[in-house]
Each structure stands twice: as structure tokens, then as C-alpha cells.
A and B are shown apart, each in its own frame.
Chain A
């Protein structure tokens, strides 16, 4: 409730300032102007949104697949852990701003460099909580499985993998927040469509309201994705979110 009041107050203040101070609309568009742009440019925004949403969705999917594969490989092999983990940390220090134009030079203006950048950025936040959850599986549980004669793979499938699921979802939630930024950055480096591309073109055309509308859509999309993951967590892992109670 207080959040709503605060938001309304902020928007009201912004609107009043934009109207009364005589500031140019292309420097700071009023919220009403952004809303108008949102409506008037809806087909333009929508067609660019589908491009960016695809980059974010597919890029995250790629990051999840690669991240899980990598986590499992590291989990099963101590030499791989020693070899791969430093490389993973190193991959996070690559300045995306620098590598994005390079990728565009290699792979063109299409989807591929965007996927690579989104996946590169989202990969690490997925691997770390996943590995952490795998490592924190109770050692006594592994012993129990051994007394049942379980193979390493059975222990992984029946105990470790389900125990790691909350970690995977935590990682995915962390990734969602930065995937939109990564996709926008990748589009700024070279693209012919997408919300980032639209923002880049809108500013020199003095269509600042349109750029703001694009930002608004992008953050709404991220929030929706995040909420979707939180919902999936609640539905898939009810056991991970309830305190251990006593008698029913």
C-alpha cells in the first residue's frame, strides 16, 4: 500500500515538474507523454518487444542448459572442479561492453550474438547456487543411499538432483534480473531490431518518450518472468518453503 502511495507521489511530482518547469519533452518526457507513446507506438513496440523477449527467453534457456550441464560435470569430477571453476569465475570478469561489438563482428546483427551475451551473463548466477545446493546435500543421506546399495547415479537422481532444484530456481531468478540488461546491451552493440535497438534510434529522433516506453516494457517483462519463476517455485517445491512443523 505504501509502495503504491509512493509510486503515485513520485509520478505526480514528475508530471508536475515536466509540465511546469518548461523542460523540453525530449529531455524529460512527462509520465503522460510516456503513456501516450506506449499507446501510439504499440505495434512498433510490440514487434520489437517480441525480438528482445526471444533473445532473453532463449538466452536464459541456453544459460540454464549449459549451467546445469556444467554444474553436474563439476559435481561429479573433482579434477573438473579444479579446472573449470576458475575459468567460470574468469568468464564473469569479461567486460561485456567490450566483447559485444566483437561478437557482432563475428556473427552479424542477428540472434546469435545476443544469445551468447545473455547466456554468458546468466550462466554464472545459475551455476553457483546450483553447485552450492549440490554440495550441501547431507553427507548422511549419501551414506544412507550407500547402505541401500545405490549407485552414484541413483544417489544423484533420487537425492542430489531434487535437493539441488531450489538452487537452480534461485539461480534462474537472479538471472532474470540481469538478462534484460544483457539483451539491451547486446542490441546496442549492433542490431536491426529489438527494444534496445528502438531505444538507440529513439533518442537522436527526439522520441525520448518512446525510449522510456521501451524501458517500461522491458522492466515489466522482467518482473513478470521473475513472478513466473517464483510461482513455479511455490508449485514445484512446496517442501522447500515451509518450516518443518510438528504434529499435523
Chain B
């Protein structure tokens, strides 16, 4: 099933040079029963998903529909039972910030660079510059327990960007934040991705978040997860969440979710 909405200020999705793409074809993934008396779980059944270079694809679905399994496949953290996954290396950003409590903001943001073998001073310099760009100037030396939830997610996003991966997998990145901070962070992320384009697979159960951020929204069925609808969000950025086109799309996505 395919639904499309067009608005006058249509912005075509450009294919950005140098960015990776994601192609999942008829992917199935079943988890064996952990012990007797518990059923095996088919997380994904014949799921196909494409993200073109530079495209932001949001995946929405009810809890337990295999969204996280999907991202683990894209990030090569697990292998599909059947089907194929073709993707450039992807970096994962999770709901929990997963910052290392013993490092300050700069060293946390520099983690992926350090893994890649970048020398400490150079890594700190690049991480510090990005943090300042993200409005965290003055907090470079603060430990995670001294930062607010929104700030921590910004540090985590900086770390993800600095991994140099052209594909980002975002797993409900703002789900642990309060509603107001979450909206702020969504707007902030939209801006950050305009400045530093990446191919993004965003998994969320927040339909509004998906519509505000994505070029395309895929709606998943309850377990076993399949894509049941695909909505193009051809609305120019920056977007306002009160934009009638966005509101209409949100209603449509919610309908698909209930169907």
C-alpha cells in the first residue's frame, strides 16, 4: 500500500554524493525461544526498506514490532535469517545516551575518533569544535552526570557524527526526554542534519517526530514487523509542526498505524 501527499512547496530529495544507501530485501529474523515455555519470536517477516543517499527515512510502529531488530541489521550487529542487507557501515545512536560516565563531554564525543586511531589532541579538537557548534560551548569539560538530558543526547549525536559513518541509525533518540525538550531536540536535529547531511534511518513510536524529521515515513505492522505503508513527506525545511500538510500527514500515519 502506498500513499502520497504533495504540497506546493515540494522539495525534491536530492541524492547527495558520497553518502551511503541502505537496501533491505525480504528480510526475515526470528529469535529462538530463550527457554521452554516461551515461544520463539518472529521479529521481522519479509521486510524491505530502502534509504537513498542523504534520505531521512523514519520507521514508526507499535512497541515490539521489530524496530530495534531492524536497526541492528542495518548496523551489522546481527545477520538476517533470510533476505539480504546491503548497506555502507552505519553508526547507531540509541535512546539511552550511553555516554561513558568517567569521560567529560569532549572525550565522550571523541570516542569514535579514538577508536579510529585519531591522536588524542586532534580528536579532542574536532570533538570540541562540533560540541561548540551544537551549543555546548562551556560544557566541554563537564561529565555526563553534570549535563541535562538534552545536552547528553547532543553529545551522543556529536559522537555518532564523528564516527565518520555516512549512515546513521537513530533508535528512538529522544524517547527518554520530557515532551518539551523532545520537541526542542527534534528541531535541533533537523537543523543539524541540514548542516551535516547523512543518510538516516530513524526508528520511533512518535509519529510527530517521524513526520517533522523525515523525508519518508514507513509504517510497520505489529509483530512480525512488515512495512504496511509508506508516506512521502514532501515539505520543505525548516518545518513547523503546525503546518497543515504535516498535520494531515500525521493523521494519515496514525490511521495506518491503527489499521
> Are the C-beta atoms of B102 and A148 separated by less than 8 Å?
no
Known: A147-B169, A248-B146. 18 other contacts (CB 8 A): A138-B98, A143-B75, A144-B92, A144-B94, A146-B77, A147-B76, A148-B115, A148-B116, A162-B102, A163-B100, A237-B102, A239-B143, A240-B102, A244-B144, A245-B146, A247-B151, A248-B142, A248-B148
> Are the C-beta atoms of B98 and A141 separated by less than 8 Å?
yes
Min CB gap A228→B, angstroms: 21
> Are the C-beta atoms of B148 and A246 separated by less than 8 Å?
yes
> Are the C-beta atoms of A240 and B111 separated by less than 8 Å?
no
> Are the C-beta atoms of A245 and B145 separated by less than 8 Å?
yes
Interfacial chain B residues near A146, Cβ < 8 Å: 75, 77
Q: Which residues in chain A, 206-248, are within 8 Å of chain B measured between CB atoms? A: 237-240, 242-248
Number of inter-chain CB pairs below 8 Å: 70
> Are the C-beta atoms of A147 and B145 separated by less than 8 Å?
no
Q: Is A22 an interface residue (CB 8 A)?
A: no
User: B120-147: contact bitstring with A at CB < 8 Å (1 yes, 0 no)?
Assistant: 0000000000000000000100111111
> Are the C-beta atoms of B98 and A148 separated by less than 8 Å?
no
Q: Is B90 an interface residue (CB 8 A)?
A: yes
Q: Is B112 an interface residue (CB 8 A)?
A: yes
* CA–CA, A85 and B91, complex, Å: 36
**Closest partner residue, chain B, to A141 (CB atom):** B98
Closest 4 CB pairs of A and B: A247-B148, A239-B101, A148-B112, A150-B115
**Closest partner residue, chain A, to B78 (CB atom):** A143
Given contacts A244-B144, A248-B147, contact A145 B115 (CB under 8 A): yes
Interfacial chain A residues near B147, Cβ < 8 Å: 247-248
> Are the C-beta atoms of A147 and B91 separated by less than 8 Å?
yes
The binding surface of chain B is classed by DSSP as loop
Min CB gap B118→A, angstroms: 12
> Are the C-beta atoms of A147 and B102 separated by less than 8 Å?
no
Q: Is A90 an interface residue (CB 8 A)?
A: no
A-B contact pairs, 9 of them (CB 8 A): A148-B111, A148-B115, A150-B115, A158-B114, A162-B102, A239-B101, A240-B101, A244-B144, A247-B147
Min CB gap A71→B, angstroms: 19
Min CB gap A136→B, angstroms: 13
* CA–CA, A145 and B102, complex, Å: 16
**Closest partner residue, chain A, to B74 (CB atom):** A147
> Are the C-beta atoms of A148 and B163 separated by less than 8 Å?
yes
> Are the C-beta atoms of B102 and A242 separated by less than 8 Å?
no
> Are the C-beta atoms of B77 and A147 separated by less than 8 Å?
yes
Interfacial chain B residues near A239, Cβ < 8 Å: 101-102, 143-145
* CA–CA, A162 and B146, complex, Å: 19
* CA–CA, A247 and B114, complex, Å: 28
Interfacial chain B residues near A149, Cβ < 8 Å: 89, 115-116
> Are the C-beta atoms of B111 and A243 separated by less than 8 Å?
no
